[in-house]
Amino acid sequence: MSSVRARLRSRSPRLSLPGSTCLVTGASGGLGATIARRLHREGARLVVSGRRVDELTSLAAELGDGTAVVAADLARLEDVRRLARDSGGVDILVANAGLPANGELADLSVDDIARAVDINVRSTLVLTRLLVPRMLDQGAGHVLLIGSLAGLAPTPRSSVYNASKFALRGFGHALREELRGTGVGVSLVSPTFVSDTGMWADTGVRAAHREATPGQVAEACVSAIRKNRAEVLVAPPDQRLGVRLAGLFPELMQPALRSSVVPPEAVAAQKSKR
């Protein structure tokens, strides 16, 4: 038994947050900025990215300690490549950038769908592909994907967003196994609706069930990296159980998931963010 434990320990990623270079996408506001601040408190050097340069510059000035800014629109493949190149030696990727893409499918334009898939899925896959080789070469690193309970439980008016988060979750778990034993860890942090800041909070609508706080999500990120956890669901126990059951019985669980359906007024408020 002790030899088995020794082999498992030897396969575990060995990464220290203090001194590591951490790229956080979608950091120009909301949840990304909160995560960046939390990682900075752990002693990580930050590279922050997003579309809004003024917000990124302000965050970098707040964090100091050599925080770098790389503005990028992740719907543009050339920007994804440039972000990977200009970020320097990244030890930890926090793939946080995303769009809500909520609404009934017939009400979404083809451009809305393409942009959501490009940012929520393609940019993360490509950016991970471009950054992982260096992590493999040094035998240490971490890829942290910000998922969602929407990646486990499908609900109406979220079909495109569900699709993007289901894809991201499948990618993360498969990549984790692919990289097992290399020293590079992969984790998902999947929250419920997040209060106070971010794309849900910006709607001004409150969920019909308990929400997570940005601080809880940021703490989950630190825990996931430190312990190389496969997935952390940031939600109360009843919601965690509900989404697990929804994965097994998606049709039977729909009545129980009604409190998680994005209301029309929230969909309307998110239109400008598509």
Specify the pLDDT at position 95. Answer: 98
Q: pLDDT digits over 170-189, tens only?
A: 999 999 999 999 999 999 99
**pLDDT over threshold 60, residue 40:** yes
DSSP the chain: -HHHHHHHHHHS----STT-EEEESS-SSHHHHHHHHHHHHTTPEEEEEES-HHHHHHHHHHH-TT-EEEE--TTSHHHHHHHHHHT-S-SEEEE-------S-GGGS-HHHHHHHHIIIIIHHHHHHHHHHHHHHHHT-EEEEEE--GGGTS--TT-HHHHHHHHHHHHHHHHHHHHTTTTTEEEEEEEESSB-SSSTTGGGT---SSPPBPHHHHHHHHHHHHHHT-SEEEES-HHHHHHHHHHHH-TTTTGGGGGGGSPPHHHHHHHGGG-
Please state the rounded mean pLDDT for residues 240-251: 90
**pLDDT over threshold 50, residue 5:** no
Q: What is the mean pLDDT of the chain?
A: 88
**pLDDT over threshold 90, residue 256:** no
What is the reported pTM? Answer: 0.88
Please state the rounded mean pLDDT for residues 12-36: 89
Q: Report residue 2's pLDDT band, with 50, 70 and 90 as the boundaries.
A: very low
**pLDDT over threshold 70, residue 274:** no
**pLDDT over threshold 90, residue 38:** yes
Please state the rounded mean pLDDT for residues 53-74: 95
Residues 9-273, CATH architecture: 3-Layer(aba) Sandwich (3.40)
Specify the pLDDT at position 263. Answer: 65
Q: pLDDT digits over 222-233, tens only?
A: 999 999 999 999
Least confident of 8-12, 71-75, 101-105, 150-154: 8-12
Specify the pLDDT at position 4. Answer: 36
The catalytic residue positions are 161
Q: Report residue 208's pLDDT band, with 50, 70 and 90 as the boundaries.
A: low
